[in-house]
Structure formats: structure tokens, C-alpha cells
A and B are shown apart, each in its own frame.
Chain A
């Protein structure tokens, strides 16, 4: 039996719980049993990216303690997984015991699409979507974790959907955490271009694997009254034809 321990990114937990719900629904359909450690909080990425490593290390220790008994940890966000896998060991350069624990738990922490394709070898999730989809490559997922083919393979298996690549799908959307609030003009110029590429693709929905980027894109679309659906890949993959079970 396949079992996954859910690590739900703080943005998903607090702002987009429906993404977590979709993940649960999807895993149920794939006969993956789940647990969700209630004590989980935030992986510490916001602090780490702003330079506050001591504070990030506190969050990291909490993550390690919460998840180290889990066999396989799955998260709907590439940037959080990259934080755990790549940056946790860095944080404990001078604490070898913690460093080893970090490396160990990092090896067992996976991003959703990486988990489905690379670990479980599942491409077909029996999903259905009626419309045209384009995909945004999140920077941390693509460049730091090397995950770009996996989400595309999954999208391509969705029945009823047409997949179109947008121009510069892997150019940063301008989120960058605190960057987007500290340098709003630059960040806006970037998301504006991302949105233009999404619109030019002709798709009626944009799919991504990280709610950080998607909240940026969605926030811009909403403000400018642009009608494109924004979906986390978990939502796409969980979707089925109305009436079908």
C-alpha cells in the first residue's frame, strides 16, 4: 500500500485550502493513503530568502522534528521542497547532527508531480478537463529541482484538455517572496509580461505547481479583470467529468 505524509505549504493551508483538498481527493483516487501531521507550520523559506538564517533554522528544526518519522513526505510546492532538500543542510553547517537529520528528511521530501512520476511512475491520473491549458514553470521547481517534464507529462494525460506552451514559460513571474512587496514596480513589470504570455497562448487556464507564483499571477489577473482560470496542478489532476465518479 502506498502512503504519503502531507506537507502543506503555508500559503496553501491558509489561503488556498482547496488545493490541499484537491490533493487529498487525487490521492484517494490513486489509492494513496495519507496522514497530515497537525503540528506542521512553515518551512522557513521566507526568512531564509531574506537572509534571516537563524530564524529559518528554527523553522527547519521544527520541520525535521515533525516529519522525520514519516516515510515519504509530499508537498504541493517546489520552492518549499527545494528549501528542505537544498537549504536545510546549508543551515546546519556547524551542527553536524542536525545536518544529517536534515539531509535524511530532505531525501524523503518530494514535490507532488515529482512524487507521482519519479517515485510512483503514475502518469495517468484519470483526470478530465474541458478546455485549453498552458503551464507556468516555477523557477525553484524547474531550476533548483530539475522538474519540468513531470508536470507536462501529467497534463498531457488529462482527457478533454488541449495543452499549449506559452512563450517563455520558464521566465520568472516576478513573485520572489519579499521581492514582490519591496520592489513592486519591478515585480509588476515581470508579472505583466507573464500574464501577456499567458493571454497570447490562447489558453483559458494556466496551471502551475506552486501557489506562490500562482497567487501573484492570479492577483494580477483579478486586478485587471482578465479572465483566465488559475489552477494548481493538484486541482487539474483531481478534476473529473461532472457526474463521473
Chain B
């Protein structure tokens, strides 16, 4: 896809989303419900809202020592009887999972709660090899049945109504139509139960991995994770390499913030601590446990001091629930694994700044994301940094300048800003020249060029013939006279 196509797609998808009334009401519910409740629940933390600042510190420290912490984690997991694989690319991660599957003659996989498998494209790769993959998180399951992508980090099917789900189940599962949520859940549970019992491999994500204990923590709302990770004989957990904490103490703080940021809960509905294969002492585990630690562009981010902070993200989705742009266009408009403010920063870094430029340009820099973030990540700062790299190009990121025309406009403006007499002269000329534009009630209704976007839905104030700079002296003198 070339860059202009990407822009067109973002703009078109946004426009469609804005017109979609069902989506609008769903987004509205998420933001006015979850978004507000999350903000409140930070206030109600025992340690108070500054805990988010502390969490930021913890995260930064870990990210700055990532190699050491990951080495410890790997050693501990191996001690616990698990196998660890460091995947540099998405392809390596997929290949490793496939290899494990083939070794065990896997026919069916149950999978849950993992954005990272979306990131590496695991499902299509497995399906291409004739292995059936079933999502087990209710939302993910719905999205999978519909052949769509998740539209929200923790509420993947947020864009669907229960009526739509009812029809989907009717079509795909051959059950009678119902729109009763408990009944729909029961249908899904029944369908999934069979999958759990017959699957020979389970794949999960990982919310946090603890180096001190070598365990992974996975939070779910329906308890499906327990089944995916314990019933099949092989379990593979996949984590982005930044999802690690050094010790239980840090784990505790981040974990509490994660649940609050995600759903304004003190603690997630179901919390699984997964720590390797079962054995004589723990008969409940899988026979084999693998941990895949994924780089896929993360060490490049780590190497850039201006973007490193984004690795502090714990994917709680609080920023999505607060962002007014996400609140209007929904997750699909971003056309990437990660959407909302976190996606607006992460996607250009992972998929290419030119390719995903609209994600960082298409934000209003309002700062709501930073205010909402569980770990107080300065997302707006990084949006600005991305725009900076896009403006001039950046060899290290193989980024080309985004627009010569735009650059020229800003150069001209900078010239004026530095030359007051010229600045005044040009504005006076514009004030005279604007008379050709149509007006209504004293405002311009149609502008050409870059202003056309504005006047699509709004009027604009014309330049005054006597601007403030021509008025001040007289005004200030009036008082002196009195």
C-alpha cells in the first residue's frame, strides 16, 4: 500500500465510522462509562493518583535494564521446567510456534487474550498449515467468527451490538436467533467447551511476566485463559519483550494499575499465574510449556531515546477510553493491531512512519491520553516527535519528508515570524485579498486550498481590517488622557 492510499483509507474509514450510529453509541458508552470510571478509580487508589508516577519510574527502570531482567526471566522459566525462545522477528515467532505444533502433531489450537499474536499474524499462518485456531475470549471469538479484527485492546468486539452477535451466531453456529446476552454467552461457552476439550495446544498472551518468580500473569474476564493454558498438553505463551517486571513488588503495583486502567476494576475478573509445565506436584499444568519473547522492532525503539518511553506501555487501553479521536473513529480506522493513542505512536514505529503517518498526524494533541495512562506515558510528546521525524525525514528510521509543499509553507511563515515589518505587510495584503471569498453573517463560508477542510463544516472569521497591532496605541493612550 503506498502512502497516499494509506491516508485515503484512514480518512475513508474514519468517515464511515463517524456515520455508523451503532459504533458511535458503543464508543460513547465506552468513553463515558469506562473512561470516567477509570479516572475515578485512580483517585481512589490507596496510595493516591501519584502511584501512576511511581509506576512510570518502575517501568522506565525496567526498560533501561531490559537485557538483564529478561535474562533473569528466561533463567527462571527454564528452572521451572519451561522452554524459552527469543524471537527477533514476527516470522521467527510464528515459525517457532509452528515447529512446536508440528512436533506435537497439533490439529487444533485454543487461544486467548493476545494482541501480540495479532501483531505477528499467527492465526493465518496456522490455518495455512491446516491447523484450526479458535479464539476463546468471548469478544475475540465473536470477532473471529465475523472474520474481522479486534477494534479495542480489551473489548475486541466493542463495535458489535448483541443483535449483530445474535445473527452471527445464528448464521455460523446454526443456533436459533437470540439477543439475550446470558443466552449468547451460554451458546459461545458450549461451542468453546468442545474446543477446549479437543485442542492439543493452547496459546496465550501475557499481561506481565515476573523475572523473580518466572511466572506470567494473564487477566481475563471469562476464565477462558485457565482452560487454554492448562487443558491442552502444550502451552505456548507469547509476550512482547517489554512486558516484564523484575520482582513481585513491582508486579503488584503495575497489576493493580492495569486492572484499573483497563476496566476500572480493582482486580481483573480472572487472574491466572502461569509458571511452566505441570508435574507430579502440580498435575494441573500442560506437559510442555514454552515462552516466546518477541522483539519485532522493539529493540529499535529501545535504541532511540526519544521513543523508548513507549515501551513502558502495559496495554491497559485506558488511553483509548479517553481519546476523543478514538471515541469518534473507533479501532478499525487505524487499520493496525494497536489503535487509539498507543497505536498512534506504536504503529508508525513498528510499521514505518511514512506508511502510518496519519495515525500520529490525525490526533489533536489534547493530552487526554497522558492524563488517562496507567503509567503516565507522555504520548503527546511522542506524537510530536514522530511529526518532527516526518517533517524532515530520518535516515535511521528510513523515513522520508512527508511533504515539500508543507515544508515550504512553514519556511515562509518562519521567515515572516522573524521579520515583523514583512509579517504585518503580508497580513494586511491577505486582509484585503480575502474579500473574494463568500461570507454569511460576517464569516467566510468557503475557502480554497488547505482551508477547504475547515469550511466543509464551519465558517471562519475573516482577518480584521484594523488588527490589534493597529489599535493598541490609541487604546492605551485613551486611558492616559483621562
Contact = CB atoms under 8 A, between A and B. Distances in A.
A189 to B, nearest CB: 4
Interface in A122-143: 139-140, 143
Contacts of B457: 184, 188, 191-192, 220, 223
Contacts of A49: 365, 384, 387
B372 to A, nearest CB: 11
A12 interface: yes
Nearest to A192: B457
Interface stretch (B115-123, B194-202, B323-331): B323-331
Nearest to A82: B367
Given A21-B475, A59-B418, A191 B451 contact: no
Contacts of B371: 143
Contacts of A176: 363-366
Interface residues on A, range: 35 or more
Most buried by B among A25, A189, A192: A189
B413 A42 contact: yes
A15 B451 CA distance: 15
B204 to A, nearest CB: 35
Contacts of A42: 413, 416-417, 423
A15 B463 contact: yes
A223 B361 contact: no
Contacts of B441: 222
B476 interface: yes
Interface in A148-193: 171-172, 174-192
A50 B368 contact: no
B450 interface: yes
Interface string A34-65: 11101111101011111111111011011000
Nearest to B440: A222
A229 to B, nearest CB: 13
Contacts of B390: 51
A188 B368 contact: no
B418 A143 contact: no
B443 interface: yes
Nearest to B10: A183
Contacts of A20: 468, 471-472
A240 interface: no
A94 B300 CA distance: 23
Nearest to B460: A219
A35 B360 CA distance: 40
B400 to A, nearest CB: 13
A41 B358 CA distance: 30
Interface in A1-52: 6, 8, 12-17, 20-21, 24-25, 28, 34-36, 38-42, 44, 46-52
Interface in B389-406: 389-392, 402, 406
A219 B446 CA distance: 12
Given A52-B407, A139-B365, A39 B420 contact: yes
B469 interface: yes
Nearest to A79: B365
Interface in A175-223: 175-192, 215-216, 218-220, 222-223
B420 A185 contact: no
Interface stretch (B11-19, B54-62, B234-242, B269-277): B11-19
Given A55-B411, A58-B418, A188 B469 contact: no
Contacts of B452: 181
Interface string A79-90: 000000000000
**Interface residue SS majority, chain B:** helix
Interface in B456-470: 456-464, 466-469
Nearest to A24: B475
A47 B464 contact: no
B172 interface: no
A172 B368 contact: yes
A139 B450 contact: no
Interface in A54-109: 54-56, 58-59, 61-62
Nearest to B415: A58
A180 B453 contact: yes
B370 interface: yes
A172 B364 contact: yes
B309 to A, nearest CB: 15
A181 B440 contact: no
A40 B452 CA distance: 29
A58 B460 CA distance: 28
B367 A143 contact: yes
B259 interface: no
A191 B458 contact: yes
Contacts of B479: 28
B328 A186 contact: yes
B453 A51 contact: no
Contacts of A184: 453-454, 456-457
A139 B85 CA distance: 45
Contact of B420 (A40, A192, A219): A40
B367 A139 contact: yes
Nearest to B482: A28
23 contacts: A13-B469, A14-B427, A14-B464, A17-B464, A24-B476, A36-B472, A39-B420, A41-B423, A42-B416, A48-B384, A50-B387, A51-B389, A55-B414, A172-B324, A176-B363, A176-B365, A183-B453, A188-B457, A188-B458, A191-B458, A222-B459, A223-B458, A223-B459
Given A174-B324, A188-B457, 17 more contacts: A14-B467, A14-B468, A21-B468, A21-B475, A24-B472, A51-B384, A58-B414, A143-B368, A176-B366, A179-B362, A182-B361, A182-B453, A189-B328, A190-B325, A219-B460, A220-B457, A222-B440
Interface of B: 11, 14-15, 18, 324-325, 328-329, 358, 361-368, 370-371, 384, 386-392, 402, 406-407, 410-411, 413-418, 420, 423, 427, 431, 440-441, 443, 445, 450-454, 456-464, 466-469, 471-472, 475-476, 479
Interface of A: 6, 8, 12-17, 20-21, 24-25, 28, 34-36, 38-42, 44, 46-56, 58-59, 61-62, 139-140, 143-144, 171-172, 174-192, 215-216, 218-220, 222-223
